[in-house]
Amino acid sequence: MELSIVVPTYNEAPNVAELVARTAAAMNGIRAEIVFVDDSTDDTADEIRRVAAEATIPVRVIHRDIATGGLGGAVMVGFDAATSDICVVMDGDLQHPPEDIPRLWRRYTVGDVDAVVASRYNGEGTNGGLAGASRIAVSKSATLLTKAMFPGRLKGVSDPMTGFFLIDRRRLDLRTLKPRGFKILLEILARTTLRVAEVPFDFADRNAGESKASFRQGAHFLTQLTMLRFGKMSMFAVIGGLGAVANIAIVWLLTRWGVGDIPAMIVAAETTIIANFLLQERFVFQDVKAEASGVWERFAKSFGFNNAEALLRIPLTALLISTWHISVVIATTITLALAFVARFLFHALVVYAPSRSRRKGVKTRTREVLEELDDQVMAPGEL
């Protein structure tokens, strides 16, 4: 097998037969297989099996009941299951024309690259399949933002957001990839040094079904971009900053309504502690919470630590003021910085430690956290 074509699908049953037929016709001497990784809630997996029975090239389907890692996670599963080390990734909606797969293959066989990206923005490439001027503007803006955040890694890549590319999986360490959304190529390029070439392609109209683009996916993308560029600690800090602003707003509002200062501060503190936990679950530690203890146990640990930290931080601030004779602003800044690091480490190493074998889990999480912190300190040429 020379080529494995990995197709992540979510409710794409109407497109399966045509995708397989066009792909088989396009191979023209290339020994290829199609590996569908299906997260659908409809009959897409059954349709793939039906089409596979009559297909002229090998077709397999892996159906996931739990869509861990979203589309990016599906691609990782496909890479792991592929027969060939050379993998093409493409969407299942036929906006990525199967007829262009041989062009990616021919460019790769020149032998001087590890990946070939099908680009909407290179040469004669087009993005006509994007519905309307607003989606085109959003796509181009997101591409510019991404390239600005990774100018070194993405140098020479005009379309890091495409979902249509060929890659030699031997150049990847699948254990280091942490797919959190649908921009898997961006994840790969940001974490791996690869030799990349591009070929232009025409991004076609969707063949059937509904587009998966949404505001929610936009939020996922921004979260993914932030996590790639700055890591978990930065997102943890953003949520903490939002919590601080919310805390002040709640105190102001409650005191305006006649609530006493102390009760208002207690209500604000407890409300933001709970809100911060929910946001951290969703945007910071979502990739490890499945292996951690149950949600109520995680909440109890987080809630207890944050309250204990607050009780310790106030007298420590007072001690710094009286001992070092520094201003309350400087003392508060010092203790808040210490508290931030302590909160992050406690959550990363304890709250979200794997539930099985606590001692082994903490060691594993400690190594992972240190690796993530190290990843954030990139050399200028790797940015």
Q: In terms of pLDDT, which residue wins out, 196 or 365?
A: 196
Do residues 250 and 105 both lie within one domain?
Answer: no
Do residues 134 and 272 both lie within one domain?
Answer: no
Q: What is the pLDDT of residues 184-225, one digit of tens each?
A: 888 888 778 899 999 999 887 655 555 544 455 556 666 656
Do residues 12 and 149 both lie within one domain?
Answer: yes
According to DSSP, the residues that pair with 241 across neighbouring strands are none
Question: What was the pLDDT predicted at 224?
Answer: 59
Residue type, 354: P
According to DSSP, the residues that pair with 168 across neighbouring strands are 86
Residue 215, domain member (yes or no): no
Which alpha helices (H) appear in 99-181, and where do they start and end? 101-108, 132-149
Last residue of a domain, which of 178, 210, 242? Answer: 210
Question: What predicted TM-score, i.e. pTM, was given to this entire model?
Answer: 0.62
Phi, psi (rounded to 5 degrees) for 5: -105, 110
Residue 18, domain member (yes or no): yes
Q: In terms of pLDDT, which residue wins out, 233 or 88?
A: 88
Domain coverage including residue 240: 232-350
Residue 227, domain member (yes or no): no
Do residues 334 and 188 both lie within one domain?
Answer: no
CA-based nearest residue to 60, from 33, 87, 86, 94: 33
Instruction: List strand residue ranges (DSSP E) for the chain, in order.
Output: 3-9, 32-38, 59-63, 86-89, 115-119, 165-168, 196-200
Token pair listed for 69: 């890692």
Residue 379, domain member (yes or no): no
CATH for 114: 3.90.550.10
Residue 113, domain member (yes or no): yes
Do residues 286 and 190 both lie within one domain?
Answer: no
- How many domains, in total, are found in the chain? 2
Residue 366, domain member (yes or no): no
Tell how strand 115-119 and strand 86-89 pair up: unpaired
Do residues 47 and 132 both lie within one domain?
Answer: yes
CA-based nearest residue to 135, from 168, 164, 95: 95
Confidence of residue 294 (pLDDT cuts 50, 70, 90): confident
Do residues 190 and 153 both lie within one domain?
Answer: yes
Residue 367, domain member (yes or no): no
Q: Is the pLDDT of residue 112 over 90?
A: yes
Question: What was the pLDDT predicted at 104?
Answer: 96
Do residues 93 and 140 both lie within one domain?
Answer: yes
Residue 23, domain member (yes or no): yes
Q: Is the pLDDT of residue 121 over 80?
A: yes
Do residues 31 and 152 both lie within one domain?
Answer: yes
Q: In terms of pLDDT, which residue wins out, 213 or 26?
A: 26
Do residues 63 and 194 both lie within one domain?
Answer: yes
Q: What is the pLDDT of residues 139-157, one digit of tens each?
A: 677 777 676 667 667 777 8
Do residues 195 and 237 both lie within one domain?
Answer: no
Do residues 181 and 77 both lie within one domain?
Answer: yes
Block residue for tokens 């990843």: 375
166-170, 204-208, 237-241: the lowest-pLDDT one? 204-208
